[in-house]
Amino acid sequence: MLEPRVFFPVALNFKTWRCVVVGGGDEAEFKTRIFNDFHKFPDVIAESFTPGLEEIAADGRATLIRQRYSPELLDGAKVVLACSEDESLNLTVGEDAHAKGLLFNMVDNAEVSDFIATSYVRRGNLTVNIMTDGLSPAFANSLRDKIGMMLENGYQEHLEFFVETKRRINGLTDDIQVKKGIWRELVKHGLLELLEADADREATLKVEEVIAKHL
């Protein structure tokens, strides 16, 4: 049996990067839509495109590069997804991407991929990812839907509350140990659970109480 692969989970801050999708079929359209979901408008390289991709491009949410793939089309990119229907082309794209030191992912081939995208739930700035090391994508998707339902209510507002609180605490002290102590106590006392229970006033009082105790 294969040694299970371990991975380093990160969230990419790819706002300013050039991201490239190679392929113009359904899979390329699917990946482009995921990029769009993260406010990323990729360059898509293929000789022909699905009507869906044409529509996405017409909305300005992707740029279609209508030509046969060649390695220099990857120049200036940082992330490359190979999802054409031609497996040997996808592998070639991978070799080129690796030679240029780019982050590469190939559809249906985790072996040659530097990274794997997983099932996810997105709520504003927040993303929850679920992966099962390839054991059961169906389980990952079902669990994603369950967690997604849990996160229906106001999670972006909860996050904003935390960000505001962070700003307030950072304005009061530069001492990292004190900040850490405050946060540890707030998390321990269930700040999120208070917000979850719509007890925003209690949450604010709790923040003030803990700050006063530590400063």
- Gap between the Cα atoms of 41 and 32, Å rounded: 8
Query: Is residue 153 a contact point for other proteins (CB under 8 A)?
Result: no
- Gap between the Cα atoms of 137 and 121, Å rounded: 14
| Span near other proteins by CB under 8 A; candidates 45-53, 66-74, 83-91, 134-142 | 134-142
8 Å CB contact between 97 and 76: no
Q: Closest Cα to residue 88, out of 74, 67, 109?
A: 109
Q: Which string of x and - marks every residue 53-92 that binds other proteins (by CB under 8 A)?
A: ----------------------------------------
- Gap between the Cα atoms of 46 and 167, Å rounded: 46
Query: Is residue 171 a contact point for other proteins (CB under 8 A)?
Result: no
Phi, psi at 103, each rounded to 5°: -80, 125
Query: Is residue 31 a contact point for other proteins (CB under 8 A)?
Result: no
In this complex, which beta carbon is closest to other proteins, that of residue 135 or of residue 215?
135
| Least gap, CB of 141 to other proteins (angstroms) | 7
Query: Is residue 196 a contact point for other proteins (CB under 8 A)?
Result: yes
In this complex, which beta carbon is closest to other proteins, that of residue 48 or of residue 125?
125
Q: Which string of x and - marks every residue 85-124 that binds other proteins (by CB under 8 A)?
A: ----------------x-x-x-------xxxxxx-x-x-x
In this complex, which beta carbon is closest to other proteins, that of residue 117 or of residue 172?
117
Query: Is residue 146 a contact point for other proteins (CB under 8 A)?
Result: yes
119, burial (CB in 10 Å: exposed 0-12, middle 13-18, buried 19+): buried
Size of the site for other proteins (CB under 8 A): 63
The DSSP-derived string for 160-202 is HHHHHHHHHHHHH---HHHHHHHHHHHHHTTHHHHHHTT-HHH
